[in-house]
Amino acid sequence: MDSFDFLTLASSGQPAKLVLDMLVILGAAAIISILLRRLHLASIPGYLIIGAILGSLPFGIISDPSNVSQIQDIAIILLMFTIGLHLDLDSIRTGMVPILIVGAVSTIVGALVLWPAGMAFGLSAPAALAVAMAFSMSSTAVVLGILHQHREVHLVQGRLGIGIAIMQDLLAIGILASMPVLAAWHGVKAGEGDEPSGIAQIVANASLGIGGILAMLGFARYLLPKLLREAAWGGNTEGLLVASAGAGLGAAMLTGWLGFGPALGAFLAGFMLSNTPFRFQLTGQLGPMRDLFMAVFFTAVGINLNVIEALQYWWVILIAVPLVMIVKASVTGATIWAGGSTAAAALVAGTLLAQAGEFSLVVLSEAKRKGLVGDREEGVAIALVVVSLMVTGSLYEYAKKNTARVAFIKPAMWFASPALRGSPMPAVAAAGVSDPGGDHGHPALPSGQDEHNGAVAGSEAPAVPKQRHVIIAGYGIVGRNLAEHFAASNISYTLIDLNSDTVMKQKKLGRNAVYGDATNKDVLESAGIHHAEAVVLTIPDDDATLRACRAIREMREDVFIAVRTTFLSRAIAAHELGADHVTIEEVATAQDMAVKVMLELNKRFAPKGDSVPHL
């Protein structure tokens, strides 16, 4: 088929129109991303704005609005899968229970406070409760994006933001399960394809749904790691990726069939995968895809926003957006403070979580499907979500600059949890040192590194090593020999290998081992690249070695890199990419073979009684 045939197909074929609409979304997202990067501005508000512009253009650059809805549905599934995969429980493991309790209490109280506000805007009691529960959810994508952008994942607001976001996403199970009950309360009669409105049937369906979720989690907990281990056998990263993606889509289909929506299943699948030994390899492979899905999803949300209709209810948006964000920031901040945190940390974390999020859109869509809200109410609610997402970044910056205003408030001592303590700013800023540059006096740290102690996101190694640390990539004969020498010299080391059996065995022996490819920056971070003195690449693959050299040197300019290559030409390339020492197999073989052959020949041909010359 030539290009003209394709253009003809594009003018008449629905699949081609879907592709063209996808191309428009990607092109617009790419343009706005480049522009905002130049201006050092957050990208998510830009995606929403450019999407709203595309959706409002009079000449119909989008061929079919239903295509955008399909693209948005696919993007939210894939986005929630990658968000779940990137959530790092290890980074907030200490004091996890208090943070989750704060998340549950603040979310429930926030929904209860917003409930009567929804009724004041004319919604029925069950519809107002459904909308209030939707707005009680925050955006995990925005929270993670802001924290990574400012390198604050390991500060107190990072621990709180991620922990509370996790709790809210898990509460989505109960919120979605409550929709049939609210629909029955609202008086919606079951239609074709919907569940009967009888209480007994509603309870039975809810029990079936929750039972299905628990069964899925049990499978993910006990059987999924074994399945992934088989998929990754022999260093098969492609099989690992395919199996993981299949698990995510399967979970999405299951939760969709159970009535919870596919986005929840995708998130739970990613979240369960994040607790397997393969998470670092997967996050490195899927990390760029998360940014792609985020761009597509938020641009599609902007396109689906009916700007004309939203402007008709501008007064509702003008009142409701500040109301929702103030209520959420106040309730979340007060709950955090009551748990023993400082007022400054509570202010920053509460503002970080003040917006609505991805699951808000999922809950609103389900509420509409159950007949709780109509098109008009859903459209206005989506506009509220979009505006709250746009202003979050600016409000977060404002809150950080005004922490001194609440410094006089002492922490509550009712439930003084150490996990909720800490300064929301790096140490130099907390000490009151002037920082006109805006970096709080800290040099640029690698992504995921803790400004306080150099900890790495997801690292299994100690945050501050007490002894020298080396990374060994490849645990074959060469790697084992090096590990023995390092152990004898009291040098700590972390192994990286693509053999899952080797990694499991070394972990059982008490050694630090990470499954993954040394060319993967997430894997290198988990192995402790930011505090390692040296990285030794013993991989019997020259191409992989060169890619690993490039990745390591991009992350650390000062670390010592020793590599093994097969040929002299590859050794030169390794030096150009930053390797400090190269062992060339053909040269080492030539030298070792010459010595041993000459020694053996001297033994055979030396006159009897003569000593063998020393070589």
For 469-510, write each residue's pLDDT tens digit.
899 998 888 889 888 888 888 888 999 988 888 888 888 888
pLDDT score for 114: 94
pLDDT of residue 212: 81
CA dihedral 450, 333, 393, 403 (to 10 degrees): -70
In this predicted structure, what is the pLDDT of residue 395? 92
Confidence of residue 423 (pLDDT cuts 50, 70, 90): low
pLDDT at 93 over 70: no
CA-to-CA separations, 259 to 130, 180, 233, 320, in angstroms, rounded:
16, 10, 36, 29
- Model confidence at 140: pLDDT above 80: yes
Higher pLDDT, 537 or 219: 537
Q: How confident is the model at residue 449 (pLDDT cuts 50, 70, 90)?
A: very low
350, pLDDT greater than 90? yes
Instruction: Tell me: pLDDT of 32 over 50.
Output: yes
Mean of the pLDDT values across residues 451-478?
A: 58
- Between residues 451 and 355, the one the model is more confident about: 355
pLDDT, residue 422, reads 63
Q: Looking at the chain, which residues constitute the CATH 3.40.50.720 domain(s)? A: 469-601
3-class state of residue 565 by DSSP: strand
* pLDDT at 65 > cutoff 70: yes
With cut-offs at 50, 70 and 90, classify the pLDDT of residue 409.
confident
- Which pLDDT score, from 0 to 100, does residue 431 have? 32
Angstrom distance (rounded) from CA 227 to CA 222: 10
pLDDT at 555: 87
The whole-number pLDDT of residue 111 equals 94
Paired residues of 472 in beta bridges: 495, 536
Start-end of CATH 1.20.1530.20 domains in the chain: 70-406
Give percent above pLDDT 90 in the chain: 13
Q: Is 473 helix (H, G, I), strand (E, B) or coil?
A: strand
Where do we find the tokens 């004091």? 95
Q: Which CATH architecture has domain 70-406?
A: Up-down Bundle (1.20)
CA distance 587 to 541: 17
Tokens of 104: 């549950």
pLDDT (0 to 100) of residue 607:
66
Confidence of residue 291 (pLDDT cuts 50, 70, 90): confident
Query: At what angle are helices 14-39 and 65-86 packed, to 10 degrees?
Result: 50
Query: Tokens 């805006």 correspond to what residue?
Result: 438
In terms of CATH architecture, what is 469-601? 3-Layer(aba) Sandwich (3.40)
Give the pLDDT mean for 49-56: 84
